[in-house]
Structure 1
């Protein structure tokens, strides 16, 4: 495939700058070939001499009058920058939508990307697409016009607008020697590019002051990047070989007990992986000297991963203890990866190995500073491993399986599907597996001790909470979420609005069912603090609700992005914004300045988690809320300084969204002060809040956004410097061996 290689310097234009391949267009002037008399009369009249029509203007009237380039949008960028978006119009009776179609089609003809500094972008040339009807012979076009023309009908038919389907996003490819990545259909880039300011610092369009200040911005950005990498490297534990005696790395029994209880009260009720009574029986042998040598290595690997997940939620005495446990968790996770991919592959080809795989995938997304957060490849391998073990088939087809074995297989299969679907949504990649490819049943409503009995007791009623209730409830909506993944990643067909509304309605009902279940279970805000069992608590309610609403948000997001130009999609816009608002408000008002010991579980998870496990600080929810507020401000007329009831109502309607964004801004700032090195969310939310304030006050947006962006970077650099200066160097750590950690993993 031939391509055009485009190089782009480092700057803010990487956020939204477009790299386009323009191809020459051939214009066919039908008016020069179709006689006027043949259109309006019949008979043997001779046609008039051919005359050439004037080429239609390729810009709106306002941009043509100002003599600037127009992107044919509705409204175009020029009118948006001039704050006259409501006046954007086109000649020859064309609407902005019709004029924007060819512009958009040319943009969609190539693969775009927003590269990092010094990256190269390969834009594959696609075969030229002729305009509608260009491949039809001219005589056929004449006869078509002659047969349909009438004095009351226009000669050029308007494009069909009755369809409520939209095309999928054009994929974006990051193609550099050190990293190649496809930005899928649910990637945040597709939302971020809709902001009129983010990434619009094109060298031709920016003011002179920006070129003078860009060098300072690049220098600050590079320093922030270097500090982030230094902190990550300083906090990382590099395991060069598997741990020989994993038991030696365990903390004291009291600490291990607390870490196990933290895992059991958080993730195990939702992702059923272990049988709790059996696990406690084996765990008790770890601390008995005569039985310690007989422990299976696979159990120690499972135990270490459970402890690693528990480090996120343990109530520590101070930050030093938290850092110590987080570093231990990294060594346990890396050791589990060694065990899974080591030479003894046959020892992992069983249900114990599958349990380790599930725990590893969960631990990599929920622990501090863990490497390898891109989990789609791992989840795909996990899914295929489960299929090769037959977990996708109905356990009742195998009469030799006991009740315990059937239920463990059903629970593990549901967990595998949950993790796989979740990873596909996070990265915008296909599942390659549908609900017609398996017939395994959902787990039955049993408590774990019920499976140890010799008989087969009857499952408890569904309205009775058990150890499996939460997993069963999530499994009820699993076919819907699998269908959402399929629809979002189907690049061969357009997305159907009616189908999205149908699935979205069912998912919203699932959200109501979750709320009703927790209400009937009498779950209180403090229930999670004093329980170590598998009963539902507020942590589960928030996480399950966010899980379902993320699918609703992504299902309607593409239609929401089209709603400004097409009012038929307004309902999707409303539903998408509501879902984003619920997600972002789940921890509204959280005070992360207080000691870590007083943090709630969802706050702790937001500090270290990724994807779903970022909880209320979800990046896509933040972008959607910001875009909604900015879109409302742009849809309004020029700012008026007179009393306006409608304006006051609109301002009051935007206030809750802005308050949530400001709360996210404050929490992200506090997380960076706590040691989180991710700056992207904070930079975006600061830029968008600055843009919102500039729109409300009628001030120039571009300079305000740049100054806010630069100031945020400087503040982050100052915080990262303090964190780096206060951290203990690795060399000094080696001189003080930590409790329970062998010398070969002390660094």
Structure 2
């Protein structure tokens, strides 16, 4: 029901305006009083509308909003036999069609081949040669990486020297355990010391747990390069752990240590881009195993257990839910769990060294106090909202009504503000920039897919301009976190959820840049009002620099930087229609030159086998991108006709 209709019925206006008889002074004073009261009530409504735009809309406007939904059946598409992800759908905005056309024309697969100049033809030949060289080097680099299949029945499970291992374990606990509470630190260190002092007493599961922690920590510590021997070892450990988890369900798989290894493997796969885009499938097995041993029930409802075991179970359950909701967002598939499916309470706000097997009573710290569990508790606060988002986005029969979007946006924004407030207030207590960035990233990135179905509508329906703003603000925040060396390295090297968030941000920012540039061309202000446009261009330059760094750190797909170069070229053109194919070809050529130089530098650092050059097709290099490539591949930006 409309909020305005009961206050100002249409019939009252018709009756009032049709009366012609003379009014008495008393009656006139009464009308004046009524009008004054009506104006005050309208002002009150305007204030409410400012807080929640839906409340201030007429019934027809609200009807338009409630009719909007997520992806319709006609929009369901497969990409490489899989459903498109939300980052893929964002790339289908009509504003990008001109980018595709320019790319195709520059690459020789468009329809404008008849107008090419001799200079452009020479550039096309140079581009073709550079692209093949890049693909050849990329293929050689991938040959050196370990196979998906274990190369021997007894793969090497030896750690690096202890000094290095100690440093990497320390990095793991300082950074990753803040958001993903998987291990009880004192218990782990006791096990770790026994691993070095009496290795024969350590079983395979314990060894894998230790090696995975070393590997995850090495992602922020190892400076030897993306093709180093250590990185290859870590990848082999991840494959071994995955094989161990897939083996017969013996007792050492279906218990808390087994679930800890499973969580570590899920995290490591995303950090090292080993099937990072397929984590949603593996999360199904993990959540089922967790429920099989009762993690979805609060320990108070289970047989008596120690305080330590109860706290570890609660922490582990919410870590699994966090991994699950993140994988659901990135895969555009349902989370397969709801709030009604579990009653496990949040863990206590305590440090690990305050809990042991002998603990019989636990004094919980106030929520405003920083502990080793505090960041997880902040994530748990927003979990219902984020779970609701993926249910609405990815549910088979769900509809994403705009009033729901506004409510969820408010909840996610409040969660980000609480994270920042907590981090600022506890900086001296131990909260680092990495902690704040990680918490903010895992929560804020949900805003972009949430508003994705509505941002494209904003061009023709001003009711959705708010979605355009929210998506852009979230994207800019994701690509400009608080400076931190470890977090910058994580974003520059990792795949999975860490890559997908950047894809969301890249799509939102480049889309807004193209839209604003075209709006300025249309209203004649291009080149005169440049502040906002320059700001967006700088953001795209920053993303381009990040894409170069990702190639240095292990990515082999080069389409992302080329796409960004073309977008910048279009945004800098005063007349989009007059943007000549030569300029586009130059942008593509310049991008490929830098890509080739980076890949060649990496190739010189390792001993490369000679690849088979007979199969240098697009699929031979790009088709395996999610297995190892730390890419912002943007394959969805390029139509199938673009074959080089």
Q: Distance in 1 between matches of 2:295 and 2:87?
A: 29
Contact 1:611 1:618 (8 Å CA) reproduced: no
Aligned pair in 2 of structure 1 residues 508, 160: CA closer, same or farther (>3 Å)?
Answer: closer
Q: Distance in 1 between matches of 2:486 and 2:556?
A: 20
Q: Which of 191, 196, 201 is 2:97 aligned to?
A: 196
Contact 1:313 1:601 (8 Å CA) reproduced: yes
Contact 2:517 2:533 (8 Å CA) reproduced: no
Asked whether 1:310 is paired with 2:217, we answer: yes
Q: Which of 323, 329, 348 is 2:253 aligned to?
A: 348
Kindly state the Cα deviation for residue 199 of structure 1 after the two structures are TM-superposed.
2.2
Aligned pair in 2 of structure 1 residues 463, 480: CA closer, same or farther (>3 Å)?
Answer: same
Q: Distance in 2 between matches of 1:602 and 1:430?
A: 29
Give the equivalent residue in structure 1 for 2:114.
Answer: 208
Kindly state the Cα deviation for residue 506 of structure 1 after the two structures are TM-superposed.
0.9
Instruction: Tell me whether 685-694 or 714-723 shows the greater mean CA deviation.
Output: 714-723
Q: Which of 531, 544, 550 is 1:652 aligned to?
A: 531
Give the equivalent residue in structure 1 for 2:312.
Answer: 408
Kindly state the Cα deviation for residue 372 of structure 1 after the two structures are TM-superposed.
5.2
Give the equivalent residue in structure 2 for 1:390.
Answer: 294
Where 1:199 maps in the other structure, the secondary structure is helix
Q: Which of 401, 405, 410 is 1:496 aligned to?
A: 401
Asked whether 1:260 is paired with 2:169, we answer: yes
Asked whether 1:377 is paired with 2:284, we answer: no
Kindly state the Cα deviation for residue 205 of structure 1 after the two structures are TM-superposed.
4.6
Q: Which of 332, 337, 342 is 2:242 aligned to?
A: 337
* Cα RMSD, aligned residues only: 2.9
Contact 1:581 1:621 (8 Å CA) reproduced: yes
Give the equivalent residue in structure 2 for 1:300.
Answer: 207
Asked whether 1:434 is paired with 2:351, we answer: no
Q: Distance in 2 between matches of 1:692 and 1:611?
A: 30
Kindly state the Cα deviation for residue 487 of structure 1 after the two structures are TM-superposed.
1.1
Q: Distance in 1 between matches of 2:414 and 2:249?
A: 47
Q: Distance in 2 between matches of 1:242 and 1:350?
A: 25
Q: Distance in 1 between matches of 2:523 and 2:88?
A: 34
User: RCO (CA 8 Å, sep 6+): is it higher in 1 or 2?
Assistant: 2
Give the equivalent residue in structure 1 for 2:462.
Answer: 567
Kindly state the Cα deviation for residue 458 of structure 1 after the two structures are TM-superposed.
2.2
Asked whether 1:627 is paired with 2:505, we answer: no
Contact 1:488 1:555 (8 Å CA) reproduced: yes
Kindly state the Cα deviation for residue 729 of structure 1 after the two structures are TM-superposed.
3.6
Contact 1:539 1:601 (8 Å CA) reproduced: yes
Kindly state the Cα deviation for residue 675 of structure 1 after the two structures are TM-superposed.
4.0
Where 2:81 maps in the other structure, the secondary structure is strand
Q: Distance in 1 between matches of 2:412 and 2:592?
A: 39
Give the equivalent residue in structure 2 for 1:667.
Answer: 546
Kindly state the Cα deviation for residue 244 of structure 1 after the two structures are TM-superposed.
6.4
Structure 1 alignment gaps of length 5 or more: 1-158, 528-534, 589-598, 732-747
Q: Distance in 2 between matches of 1:364 and 1:488?
A: 25
Q: Distance in 1 between matches of 2:183 and 2:383?
A: 21
Give the equivalent residue in structure 2 for 1:688.
Answer: 567
Q: Distance in 2 between matches of 1:196 and 1:371?
A: 30
Q: Deviations over 1:350-371 (max 9, x none)?
A: 111111100001011113x645
Q: Distance in 2 between matches of 1:328 and 1:166?
A: 49
Give the equivalent residue in structure 2 for 1:241.
Answer: 152
Structure 2 alignment gaps of length 5 or more: 1-59, 611-644
Contact 1:186 1:428 (8 Å CA) reproduced: no
Q: Distance in 2 between matches of 1:675 and 1:361?
A: 20
Aligned pair count? Answer: 537
Q: Distance in 2 between matches of 1:483 and 1:264?
A: 30
Q: Which has the larger radius of gyration?
A: 1
Where 2:83 maps in the other structure, the secondary structure is strand
- Whose helix proportion is higher, 1 or 2? 2
Aligned pair in 2 of structure 1 residues 172, 401: CA closer, same or farther (>3 Å)?
Answer: same
Where 2:142 maps in the other structure, the secondary structure is helix
Q: Distance in 2 between matches of 1:225 and 1:204?
A: 22
Q: Distance in 2 between matches of 1:539 and 1:160?
A: 43
Contact 1:639 1:698 (8 Å CA) reproduced: no
Give the equivalent residue in structure 2 for 1:44.
Answer: none
Contact 1:607 1:676 (8 Å CA) reproduced: no
Kindly state the Cα deviation for residue 730 of structure 1 after the two structures are TM-superposed.
6.7
Contact 2:130 2:596 (8 Å CA) reproduced: yes
Q: Distance in 1 between matches of 2:61 and 2:210?
A: 61
Q: Distance in 2 between matches of 1:676 and 1:311?
A: 18
Asked whether 1:166 is paired with 2:100, we answer: no
Kindly state the Cα deviation for residue 494 of structure 1 after the two structures are TM-superposed.
3.7
Instruction: Tell me whether 471-480 or 419-428 shows the greater mean CA deviation.
Output: 419-428
Asked whether 1:537 is paired with 2:426, we answer: no
Aligned pair in 2 of structure 1 residues 450, 725: CA closer, same or farther (>3 Å)?
Answer: closer
Asked whether 1:557 is paired with 2:442, we answer: no
Where do 1:718-737 residues align within 5 Å? 718-729=597-608
Q: Distance in 2 between matches of 1:292 and 1:673?
A: 37
Contact 2:280 2:331 (8 Å CA) reproduced: yes
Q: Deviations over 1:715-735 (max 9, x none)?
A: 32343234223322479xxxx
Q: Distance in 2 between matches of 1:671 and 1:495?
A: 35
Q: Deviations over 1:570-590 (max 9, x none)?
A: 1111111111111112268xx
Contact 2:178 2:376 (8 Å CA) reproduced: yes
Aligned pair in 2 of structure 1 residues 670, 349: CA closer, same or farther (>3 Å)?
Answer: closer
Q: Distance in 2 between matches of 1:330 and 1:730?
A: 20
Aligned pair in 2 of structure 1 residues 654, 554: CA closer, same or farther (>3 Å)?
Answer: same
